[in-house]
């Protein structure tokens, strides 16, 4: 088999996700919430997968009603391979199929490299890299028998540079590993699944809001765009990668950073 080739269609139709079913890990807040909204706005039915959010079910109901699609919330833990596999299998059963999986769940912490405990290092890897792989593996076990699927990882510009002034070697390493994982899977699974990454720069989410103001001032000096990105500004990139508009795109890392990585 070769990489799936859709029929030629009107360009706006190529972005249309009606009839598709998508699942988004970490889909109840931050970037993941905007991805869930974006896919629903493009017409997909959406499964929001969350770990600790207290209002995921309410959010799913709001998304469903606003867009005339099905949207349900599922609690699961990506760092538990059997749990995330069971969840994705349940999503496929409940919705009748599964076409798109966005492996978005992630965490960050900041420690000097020499001070990391084994537990601190391991927790980052378990969620950001192991959890992403377990999610991808579970998705592939659905996509392969179907003959098609689409996997999108949320990586980070931290995969291709060293952020300052914060010290976050574990986070950076996990995201660099994730980008390389996507490249590997895009080749291994080319006959039944496209695999791509989105690597955002500094995004205005709760993950950044806790940092000292002097850090933010330094970031602004390094970002040519001179501002943070709002999560909703990433919506189009995920719809693009999830849709036939990017049908020949696999193994790519789409960097969206206000030119932060260029100077």
**CB 247: neighbour CB atoms within 10 A?**
15
The answer to whether residues 83 and 77 touch, using CB atoms and an 8 Å cutoff, is yes
Strand runs labelled E in the chain: 21-25, 45-50, 71-75, 100-103, 150-154, 194-200, 253-256
Residue 111 is classified by DSSP as B
**Active-site entry in 134, 171, 238, 260:** 171
pTM of the model: 0.96
**Active-site entry in 20, 79, 175, 235:** 175
CA dist 47 and 25 (Å) reads: 9
pLDDT the model gives residue 1: 64
pLDDT the model gives residue 211: 76
Q: Is 74 a catalytic residue?
A: no
CA dist 171 and 237 (Å) reads: 23
Nearest to 203 by CA among 263, 151, 153, 157: 157
Nearest to 67 by CA among 25, 22, 97, 104: 22
Task: Identify the bridge partners of residue 46 per DSSP, sorted by sequence position.
Answer: 22, 71
Residues of the chain where predicted confidence (pLDDT) is lower than 50: none
CA dist 147 and 207 (Å) reads: 37
If DSSP codes are grouped into helix, strand and coil, which group holds residue 22?
Answer: strand
pLDDT tens per residue across span 145-160: 999 999 999 999 999 9
Q: Is 54 a catalytic residue?
A: no
The answer to whether residues 74 and 90 touch, using CB atoms and an 8 Å cutoff, is yes
**Active-site entry in 156, 158, 174, 246:** 156
Q: CB within 8 A of 258, min separation 6: which ones?
A: 201, 202, 223, 224, 225, 226, 227, 229
CA angle 156, 70, 146 (to 5 degrees): 70
Q: Is 171 a catalytic residue?
A: yes
Residues of the chain with pLDDT > 70, as a percent, come to 99
Task: Please state, in angstroms and as integers, the Cα–Cα distance from residue 6 to each residue in 88, 217, 237, 242, 246, following that order.
Answer: 25, 46, 19, 13, 10
């Amino acid at each position: 088999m070769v990489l799936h080739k859709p029929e030629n269609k009107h360009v706006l139709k190529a972005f249309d996700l009606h009839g598709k079913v998508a699942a988004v890990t970490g889909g109840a807040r931050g970037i993941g919430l905007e991805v869930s909204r974006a896919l629903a706005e493009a017409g997909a039915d959406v499964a929001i997968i969350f770990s600790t959010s207290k209002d995921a079910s309410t959010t799913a109901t709001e998304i469903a009603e606003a867009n005339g699609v099905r949207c349900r919330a599922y609690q699961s833990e990506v760092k538990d391979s059997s749990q995330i596999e069971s969840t994705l299998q349940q999503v496929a059963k409940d919705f009748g199929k599964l076409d798109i999986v966005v492996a978005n769940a992630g965490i960050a912490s900041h420690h000097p490299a020499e001070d990391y405990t084994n537990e601190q290092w391991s927790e980052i890897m378990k969620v950001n890299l192991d959890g992403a792989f377990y999610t991808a593996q579970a998705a592939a076990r659905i996509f392969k028998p179907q003959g098609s699927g689409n996997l999108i990882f949320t990586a980070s510009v931290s995969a291709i540079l060293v952020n300052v002034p914060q010290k976050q070697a574990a986070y950076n390493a996990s995201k660099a590993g994730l980008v390389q994982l996507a490249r590997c899977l895009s080749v291994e699974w080319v006959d039944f699944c496209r695999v791509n990454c989105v690597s955002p720069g500094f995004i205005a989410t709760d993950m950044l809001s806790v940092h000292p103001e002097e850090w933010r001032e330094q970031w602004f000096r390094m970002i040519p765009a001179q501002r943070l990105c709002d999560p909703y500004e990433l919506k189009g990139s995920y719809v693009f990668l999830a849709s036939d508009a990017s049908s020949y795109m696999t193994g790519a890392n789409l960097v969206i950073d206000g030119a932060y990585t260029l100077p």
